[in-house]
A and B are shown apart, each in its own frame.
Chain A
Amino acid sequence: MSDTIFALASARGKAGVAVFRISGPQAHEALARFCHVPPARRAALRRLVWQGETLDEALVLVFEAGASFTGEASVELQVHGSLAVTRAVSLALSQFPGLRPAEAGEFTRRALENGRLNLAQVEGLADLIESETEAQRRQAMRVLSGAIGERAEAWRRDLIRAGALVEATIDFADEDVPVDVTPEVLALIDGLLADLKREISGTRAAERVRDGFEVAILGAPNAGKSTLLNALAGRDAAITSEIAGTTRDVIEVRLDLDGLAVTLLDTAGLRETDDRVERIGVARAVQRAQSADLRVFLLDHAAETLLIAPQEDDIVVQGKADQRHHVPDAVSGLTGQGVDRLIGRISAALAKKAASAGVMTRERHRLAMIRSVEALESARSRIETAGSRVELVAADLRRAVRALDVLVGRIDVENLLDEIFSSFCIGK
């Protein structure tokens, strides 16, 4: 029996409508967890609810086995095309037991196997799949070239080492290999587990799906941050006044910026202060600003420096454009001058971030790490249980390695043998 697979069938990024396709024996059952299943081939508007939360309103189409694109039972969800929604839906789908993200070309392959496509049609689709694969490859490369890449490289080394140690005790039992490799294997597994868990909790995918991107507005006291926030939000969300230090806590406003779900953060003005309450506000502002996806620095003058420095891609503008002239790109929350341009810059910066962490890729990586953690934990508990079988530890380790394929590259038996032969003098 084949797995049930899902994928975003429409192009990634923001669009009016995004289409999810689910195919396989559990497709209908999975849909039933989100909404009342409509009759086959009848478009129906449904509210998708996952674990008590409404994800979106979607146009839902159900196809029965034998009468779908793949020939299998399948479902199509047409949801709103925002990144936040597509993220939320793919995350929810991946949490349904038995569902997994489709590999490149998998829908087409199933259609072909079930006799739903002819050769010409497959050839037409092949280009599409090729580009999809290429995009996935590029995204994986991007992940691997960054900071996470160095970690992935270390994981790969540790996985090969742990696998090799275990395999050496199995395949070279009669040779001069260390009999007890347990301490080293355990240390390697523990290191991997700690890293992977940190990485999993660090991926803010889940948080973003709920909250969208966070954009913090920063500046000195009385720079006009709250006024700008209100202008962006189109309502009086924050109290504004002439008094410096009016905003003390972090004020959050959720809004849709050009189709992107964004939480704007208005923060306390950054300055050294003796006021205890304000000091807490400033510390909070710094902390939230640093963890935000994007920072907008609202400066009084171009040379001004604040408690934290802008990062790459952050936006730096001068405020109170109404009070100064001839400063290009200056904004004013009061008059609305430059606000549209600022919105354009914010959404461009966020779209760039969104593209560099493609929804499915990111999610795929997170799922891979979760599966790997499960396998490593199983291996760990086996090693610690007296009298348990080393071949099962090896099987768990292989599972952990396979799960991490997308992150660390394929690890083949030859890699293990290389490690074994270079570490131990094999050959009696």
Chain B
Amino acid sequence: MFHVKHFDVVVIGGGHAGAEAAAASARIGARTALISMRKDRIGVMSCNPAIGGLGKGHLVREIDALDGIMGLAADSAGIQFRLLNRRKGPAVQGPRTQADRKLYRDAIQDLLGTQSGLDVIEGEVVDLVQDKAGRVTGVELLDGSVLDATAVVLTAGTFLNGVIHIGDQRRSGGREGDVASIRLGQRLSGFGLKRGRLKTGTPPRLDGRTIEWRGLDEQPGDENPVMLSFLNKAPAVRQVACGITHTNERTHDIVRANLGRSAMYGGHIEGVGPRYCPSIEDKVVRFADKSGHQIFLEPEGLDDHTIYPNGISTSLPAEVQNEYVRSIRGLENVVILQPGYAIEYDYFDPSELHSDLQSQIPGLYFAGQINGTTGYEEAAAQGLVAGANAAAAALGRDPILFSRADSYIGVMLDDLRSRGVTEPYRMFTSRAEFRLHLRADNADQRLTPLGLTAGLVGRARAAHFQEKMSRLADANDILSARSCTPLELQSVGLAVSQNGARRSVLEVIASYDIDWSHVLHLVPDAVMIDTETKEQVWRDALYAQYLDRQRADAEALQRNELVKIPANLNFAELPGLSNELAAKLTRHRPENLAEAERIEGMTPAALLLILAHCRKAEPARAVAR
């Protein structure tokens, strides 16, 4: 061992989780090191060249609200912005953009490079250093050097026992072009954490110059693009369109005839793949009656000819890929730049994690695919949570926690902890029971205050946020100060009953589809409200009645979240608790009553006993009967 350096937080891995973790840790003020095997590959998008979407766009906005880097990088690399579900309500709209791979990677590397308090180190971590109590106190690199750290964040992605399959060929590797971290993997095996195996697939990459684009449908970006970050207003670079084509019966015949040669169907893969991202093999087998499947031809960059055909991921042999791809319209003469492959990897059972993403090993935090999730956005959001909490712990501050009632981040953390995973976990808006409140457009209103308290939000972001909030407050003041009689409301064409009560214009906006020109008629002062603020007032008001109905549920949840279960509470010793429940509680280690409540088989009596033990210290005030 030589030249020991000390850091508060060391982040292992430079993918989306690692980048966000390192940035968050440094923002909080912890002395942070990011270690990546290759500096130039930090921020690489290894799968599809897009950021955001439904549920995912919500996560990016939440990261952005906490002053994270993903939204900023996506905006500077965005080449085709689309607000998904634009014609549905704001609660289910998700911003998304195709991203130029190179620009995205450069943006992430720039943002990390300019972040003060952050060192980016190239090297391979081969071991974790632990003290006598088992606490992780640093990492050892391949060259023998040791980095001391108060907390370590591991974002190993698919590198743990990663195996790549192309047909019947297999080799170890993290993602195409990288080596798998075998030594570190072996080291982690020694901890006795519960593991599982998952798989994911990629499509072949195509040379766009060999695609016959004429005659294919085109999907352009939105006319009025919506950015991923609250700080940006417009795209930074030239915008392009995606192409659309379809598989056909011939494609399916080719796939069917070669199923036995697919790594997945040939029995080479044991990991479980995601149902929402099936390979072309899966599609052909499971939906045999469908005569065609849609394929989006997504450009990987402005000065890159590579095309990512979204919808035909595969683990068939290269020559079969060539055959079936060329059966598709527009791709008759296409050249495959890199064949598709499936990758299997290990994950650690996320139900063993703490709510700050600390693992069972004190001082060691996990984020990203290693926790059984999939997707850049899911990884980045966990990275932010793990990085911020590792930093908070290192600096002796309170943990930064999220709730199902305040964010998609909270939904994800809770899902992972309370259910574990059976397939790679991806965010959907339907996972959020408070979906009408957890919108992409109000992520800053929901989370930036939390970020400010935690020290995650920088000065520029804080100023921007406060300015927006004061504009919103002014608008709300103007609209609630003016109250209207039923007669006045009728005069602008609203169907209100004659003998109803007076209502403020804000209430009217919440209950009726009222035209802004009519609002102006009722409140001439509203002319001072700018378009952006006006739209946000409208979005906030739109669901007001539903939110009232959900408030009791949200409050009950948050009340239970506030009842912290002491870490040393021995469930096995609680009288009246069944052995089965005690075992489940011991395994899941719920940190608060809300988590305990969601454990399968939990009973009201058991919950009451736990609550009583949490309250043990408090003396009973008085006892009536």
| Interface residues in chain A, defined as those with a beta carbon under 8 Å from any beta carbon in chain B | 3, 63, 67-69, 103-106, 108-109, 112-119, 121-123, 125-127, 129-130, 133, 167, 170-176, 389-392, 394-395, 398-399, 413, 416-417, 421, 425-428
Contacts and interface: CB of A to CB of B under 8 A. Distances in A.
Given A118-B623, A413-B430, A391 B608 contact: no
Interface of B: 53-55, 84-85, 88-89, 91-92, 274-278, 283, 286-287, 290, 293-296, 310-311, 428-431, 433, 435-436, 543, 546, 549, 552, 575-576, 603-609, 611-613, 615-616, 618-625
Task: Classify the interface of chain A: helix, strand, loop or mixed.
Answer: helix
Contact of B88 (A67, A391, A413): A391
Contact of B624 (A67, A122, A413): A67
B165 to A, nearest CB: 18
Ranked 5 nearest A-B pairs via Cβ:
A105-B604, A118-B620, A122-B612, A421-B275, A129-B605
Q: Which of B278, B310, B433, B609 has its CB near the most chain A CB atoms (within 10 A)? A: B609
Given A425-B286, A425-B290, A389 B89 contact: yes
Contact of A119 (B276, B431, B549, B613): B613
27 contacts: A68-B624, A109-B604, A112-B615, A115-B618, A116-B621, A122-B609, A123-B575, A125-B608, A126-B609, A127-B576, A129-B604, A133-B605, A170-B92, A172-B276, A173-B84, A173-B88, A174-B54, A176-B293, A390-B89, A390-B92, A391-B91, A392-B89, A417-B430, A421-B275, A425-B287, A427-B275, A427-B276
Given A129-B604, A395-B436, A425 B620 contact: no
B428 A69 contact: no
Contact of B275 (A68, A112, A127, A426): A426
A413 B91 CA distance: 17
Query: What does DSSP make chain B's interface, helix, strand, loop or mixed?
Result: loop
A171 B92 CA distance: 8
Given A117-B620, A119-B613, A398-B433, A130 B603 contact: yes
A391 B604 contact: no
A116 B624 contact: yes
B616 A119 contact: yes
Given A68-B624, A114-B621, 8 more contacts: A117-B620, A119-B616, A126-B606, A129-B604, A133-B604, A170-B92, A174-B53, A426-B277
B295 A391 contact: no
B611 A421 contact: no
B436 A391 contact: yes
A127 B578 CA distance: 11
Contacts of A172: 54, 276
Given A389-B89, A421-B275, A109 B611 contact: yes
A105 B612 CA distance: 12
B435 A428 contact: no
B621 A115 contact: yes
Given A112-B612, A173-B84, A427-B277, A130 B283 contact: no
With most chain A CB atoms within 10 A of its CB, the pick from B55, B430, B549, B624 is B430
A173 B85 contact: yes
Contact of B430 (A104, A125, A133, A416): A416
A391 B296 CA distance: 26
Contact of A109 (B91, B433, B608): B608
Contacts of A117: 612, 620, 623
A67 B575 CA distance: 29
A428 B296 contact: yes
A395 to B, nearest CB: 6
A414 to B, nearest CB: 8
A130 B603 CA distance: 8
Contacts of A122: 608-609, 611-612
A413 B85 CA distance: 20
